[in-house]
Amino acid sequence: MTGLLEMREKLKLLYSRNEVFVVPVLKFLLAFVTMTVVNGRMGYMNRLDNLAVVLVVSLLCSFLPNGCIIMFAALFSLLHMYALSMEVALVGLCLYLVMFLLFFRFSPKDSLVVLLTPMLFALKIPYVMPIAMGLVGTPASAVSIACGVIVYYFLNHVIGSATAINTLEEGDAIAKLKLLIDGLIDNKAMVVIIAAFAITVIVVYLIRRMSIEYAWTIAMIAGAIVNLIVLLAGDLVYDTNVSVAGAILGAILAVLVGKVIEFFRFCVDYSRTEKVQFEDDEYYYYVKAIPKMTVAAQTKTVKKINTQRRTASRSTSAEGVKPSGNSVRSGSAAGAGTASGRTTGTRTGSTAAAGTRMASTTAAGTRMASTTAAGTRMASGAKTGTVVTERTAVNRRPDTTARGQKSVTINSNMVENTEDDDFYDDFEEWE
The DSSP-derived string for 9-59 is HHHHHHHHHTHHHHHHHHHHHHHHHHHHHHHHHT---TTTS-HHHHHHHHH
Distance from the Cα of residue 238 to its chain's centroid: 54
Work out the mean pLDDT of the chain and round it to a whole number.
74
Lowest mean pLDDT among 49-58, 208-217, 409-418: 409-418
Q: Do 218 and 341 fall into the same domain?
A: no
d(CA 336, CA 398) in angstroms, rounded, equals 7
Residue 385: band (very low, low, confident or very high) from pLDDT cuts 50, 70, 90: very low
Q: Check whether 380 has a pLDDT greater than 50.
A: no
What would the pLDDT profile of 18-40 be if each residue is shown by its tens digit?
Answer: 888 999 999 999 999 999 999 98
Q: Does residue 281 sit within a domain?
A: no
Q: Determine which helix (DSSP H) or strand (DSSP E) holds 135, and give its type and residue range.
A: helix 128-136
Task: Give the pLDDT score at 220.
Answer: 94
Amino acid at 400: T
Q: Check whether 223 has a pLDDT greater than 80.
A: yes
**Across the strands, what pairs with 403?**
none
Q: Does residue 96 sit within a domain?
A: yes
Q: Which of 233, 249, 265 is the last residue of a domain?
A: 265
What would the pLDDT profile of 156-170 be if each residue is shown by its tens digit?
Answer: 999 988 888 888 766
Q: Does residue 270 sit within a domain?
A: no
Task: Give the pLDDT score at 217.
Answer: 92
Residue 384: band (very low, low, confident or very high) from pLDDT cuts 50, 70, 90: very low
Residue 146: band (very low, low, confident or very high) from pLDDT cuts 50, 70, 90: very high
Q: Is 214 left (phi over 0), alpha (psi -120 to 50) or beta?
A: left
Q: Do 257 and 338 fall into the same domain?
A: no
What would the pLDDT profile of 59-91 be if each residue is shown by its tens digit?
Answer: 999 988 888 898 999 999 999 999 988 888 999
Residue 102: band (very low, low, confident or very high) from pLDDT cuts 50, 70, 90: confident
Q: Does residue 29 sit within a domain?
A: yes
Higher-confidence residue of 411 and 149: namely 149
Q: Check whether 315 has a pLDDT greater than 60.
A: no
Q: Residues 6 or more apart from 155 whose CB is under 8 A from it? A: 41, 42, 77, 118
Q: Which of 265, 289, 312 is the last residue of a domain?
A: 265
Task: Give the pLDDT score at 128.
Answer: 92
Q: Does residue 119 sit within a domain?
A: yes
Q: Do 74 and 184 fall into the same domain?
A: yes
What would the pLDDT profile of 105-118 be if each residue is shown by its tens digit?
Answer: 777 778 888 889 99
Task: Give the pLDDT score at 60.
Answer: 92
In this prediction, residues 181-210 reach a mean pLDDT of: 92
What would the pLDDT profile of 403-430 be if each residue is shown by its tens digit?
Answer: 444 444 444 444 444 444 454 444 444 4
> Using alpha carbons only, what angle is made at residue 172 by residues 171 and 175, rounded to the nearest 5 degrees?
160
- DSSP symbol at 64: S
Q: Which of 147, 144, 254, 253 is nearest to 204 (CA)?
A: 254
What would the pLDDT profile of 335-371 be if each residue is shown by its tens digit?
Answer: 444 434 443 343 443 433 334 344 343 333 444 434 3
Q: Check whether 287 has a pLDDT greater than 50.
A: yes
Q: Do 243 and 341 fall into the same domain?
A: no
43 in Cβ contact with 80 (< 8 Å): yes
Q: Which of 201, 130, 255 is nearest to 209 (CA)?
A: 201
- Domain limits at 37? 2-265
Q: Do 48 and 157 fall into the same domain?
A: yes
Residue 179: band (very low, low, confident or very high) from pLDDT cuts 50, 70, 90: confident
Q: Do 260 and 345 fall into the same domain?
A: no
Q: Which of 215, 247, 265 is the last residue of a domain?
A: 265
d(CA 74, CA 93) in angstroms, rounded, equals 9
Q: Does residue 173 sit within a domain?
A: yes
- DSSP symbol at 292: B
Q: Check whether 132 has a pLDDT greater than 60.
A: yes
Counting residues of the chain whose pLDDT is more than 90, the rounded percentage is 29
Residue 312: band (very low, low, confident or very high) from pLDDT cuts 50, 70, 90: low
Residue 229: band (very low, low, confident or very high) from pLDDT cuts 50, 70, 90: very high
Q: Do 45 and 129 fall into the same domain?
A: yes
67 in Cβ contact with 156 (< 8 Å): no
Q: Do 252 and 354 fall into the same domain?
A: no
Q: Does residue 210 sit within a domain?
A: yes
Q: Do 338 and 226 fall into the same domain?
A: no
User: What total number of domains does the chain contain?
Assistant: 2
Q: Do 18 and 123 fall into the same domain?
A: yes
In this prediction, residues 96-109 reach a mean pLDDT of: 80
- DSSP symbol at 289: E
Higher-confidence residue of 186 and 379: namely 186
Q: Do 165 and 39 fall into the same domain?
A: yes
Counting residues of the chain whose pLDDT is more than 70, the rounded percentage is 68
Q: Check whether 172 has a pLDDT greater than 70.
A: yes
Q: Residues 6 or more apart from 11 whose CB is under 8 A from it? A: none
Q: Do 247 and 350 fall into the same domain?
A: no
d(CA 120, CA 126) in angstroms, rounded, equals 5
Q: Does residue 284 sit within a domain?
A: no
256 in Cβ contact with 222 (< 8 Å): no
Whether the model clears a pTM of 0.75, i.e. scores above it, the answer is: no
